[in-house]
Structure 1
């Protein structure tokens, strides 16, 4: 996805789905951004935007997810 093209609902849904797959693999936000940029050619800014919106809509999930990420790195 190029940054100059208009963003469609299906673009957002695709990135949402790919982020969910990253979450299943217990990836951090940065790891997810790198993976989507490398393998799906998705602009990291777009990935971050979708991730942030998912965090806003699912605060409790991401609180627990981020906590588990911190626990697993120590």
Structure 2
């Protein structure tokens, strides 16, 4: 991940704004649960970091299907 962010930061010096977004498809529990029906296994997260631009001002909580419209709104 560090290599990827370093590459993006190097490109930012070329006046290119970037939005790096990291997410998962589902959660996990330490006991080995992976993609099960528990709330923790169904949970996910999104990290968004602007390089050469502001970070997005997204709601703290949103539904997975809302991510696409949030990302498209950031294209400018």
TM-score normalised by the chain length of structure 1: 0.26
Q: Select the structure of larger CA radius of gyration.
A: 2
TM-score (norm 2): 0.26
Q: Which has the higher contact order (CA 8 A, sep 6+)?
A: 1
